[in-house]
Amino acid sequence: MVASLAIPGFELRAALRKRPSLALQPAALAPSDGAEPLIGPVTAAAQQAGLRPGMRMGEALATCPKLVLVEPDPASAELEWEEIIRRLEDSGFAVESTALGTAYFDTRGVERLYGGLEQALKRALAAVGSHWDARVGAATRRFAALAAANVARPGQALVVSDERTEEFLAPLPLRLLGLDERRREELEALGVKRVGQLAGLPGAAVAERLGPDGRSAWSQARGGKRGRIRGRRPPAEVTEELEFPEAVGNELTLRRALATLTEKALTRPERADRFIRKVALSARLVGGASWRRTLTFRDPAGDADRIRLALGPKISEVPAPVMALRLELVEMTEETGRQLELVKPEGAELQSRLQEGLRQVKASTGGGAVATVVEVAPWSRIPEARALFVPRDG
Amino acid sequence: MVSDTGSASAVRSAGRLNEPRAALVEPQADGTPRLVNRLTVEVIREEWRVLDRWWTEEPVNRRYFDVILESGQQVVVFHDDEDGRWFSQRGA
């Protein structure tokens, strides 16, 4: 069976972890900077007050003047989601994550381990934790499993057998299909308001009228593909974070901090000389919000300069002063050796001797004894604002 | 300062270089230092003011003195006009 895990409004729930009292009040996820002013997921109290995700902000505030807009916290949301996926993987499930709050996993491999499908699904819900109000749906087809997860109550596991799939999907609303708003309205204007009604139409006619998106929705309405679940490879765990004594808004300072983080991350023993495929740069912003960007290299990178040059331009996108900057080596290659040069570049020998010397100092005096001085604002009239020292391990 | 080398994730708290240190200064009537850390000030080489960050909640208002003590040592001290205390500082 294919199982789907759904945590509705995941990004809002993740943002509310730091302000749990808001969970019981009318609150909604504020739109991100530069995005259309539409509210994101809403709390149950906001739903009772008549608010719906995707409403215009002005309309939402007019409907519920007490509405609290919660700043999105994408870095926390990704970390929380990563934690959930890892707990599922620790329980033996091969997880395919499709979006924050939505994942698929195959139960075949673990049904015997846990004593049946129901037990395996319960185990998955327990691994996620009750505070997320997760739901699980299982079916022989992906879309049916996802629909079941969306229909299930918090903490419920809903199983739809193959023979009942059509019957189960038929009364569900069209919004569960991956159709854009206009296409859905077009269908509703034609009197097609339920998944079953769409499934009953000839596929060719749907494709002709609504194009490839419509055809894909029609296929989903009939249960979707049986598609195999591709469990992800667990990402690497090397992260480096630098906390600033005070909020930093200066791009040059942040670029220097990035250079320091890159150098530190690459010298971590866990990296074991592997090459970097994917990196993520995130920042904790002043006021509690966060910012995050990921980057995948076409050719895996092994030197700090390349990573720094690739991530550097992202720094200018940081929307507010930064309290802490974090670099994650998200994915690394398996291989450790790539013969790219026959002769070591000038200075490499000196660099390795220096590293060895630093390791000796560290071994004799303990951690924190070796630090790098990073000039952050050499032009400042306040001497202690000109440079920072950053403890180093390597 | 937090350094976690035991796990794959490390948080490092950056520290400030040349942080001011509290100094024992006895000033004269005009506000210039007479004794620094119980040593007589022989010469005031230079004096300057730093007024900065006045738009924030932590304004900087300092009167700096570059002095030579009777021991021959050169020290930079400043009077913090915000909280009335004296500090010595390297790198100024």
Q: Name the residue ranges covered by the structural domains of chain A.
A: 19-72, 171-221, 238-391
Q: Which of A367, A371, A387 sits opposite B5 (nearest CB)?
A: A367
Q: How many angstroms separate the CA atoms of A12 and A23, rounded?
A: 9
Which residues from A are below 8 Å from B3, CB to CB? 367-368, 391, 393
The whole-angstrom distance between A152's CA and the closest CA on chain B is 37
Class of domain A171-221: mainly alpha
Question: Do A27 and A67 contact (CB within 8 A), yes or no?
Answer: yes
Average pLDDT, chain B: 85
Q: What is residue B68's predicted lDDT score, i.e. its pLDDT?
A: 92
CA dist B5 and A239 (Å) reads: 11
Residue of A82, A80, A109, A78 whose CA lies nearest to A93: A109
**Better-scored residue on pLDDT, B56 or B32:** B32
Q: What is the pLDDT of residue B84?
A: 92
pLDDT of A376 strictly over 60: yes
CATH classification code of A238-391:
3.30.1490.100
Q: Which CATH architecture has domain A19-72?
A: 3-Layer(aba) Sandwich (3.40)
Instruction: Tell me the pLDDT tens digit for each residue of A172-201.
Output: 888 777 777 788 888 888 888 888 888 888
Residues in chain A within 8 Å Cβ distance of B16 = 245, 384-385, 387-389
Contact at CB, A239 and B89, closer than 8 angstroms: no
Q: What is the ipTM for the molecules in this complex?
A: 0.77
% of chain A residues with pLDDT over 70: 92
Strands B9-13 and A238-248: parallel
Cα of A238 to nearest chain B Cα, Å: 5
Q: Give the whole-angstrom CA distance, residue A346 versus residue A349.
A: 7
What is the per-residue pLDDT across A197-225, written as a single tens digit (0 to 9) for each?
888 888 888 888 877 778 888 888 887 77
Q: For chain A, what percent of residues have pLDDT higher than 90?
A: 5
Going from N- to C-terminal start, the domains of chain B cover: 21-88
What single-letter amino acid sits at A58? Answer: G
* Predicted confidence (pLDDT) at residue A236 exceeds the cutoff of 60: no
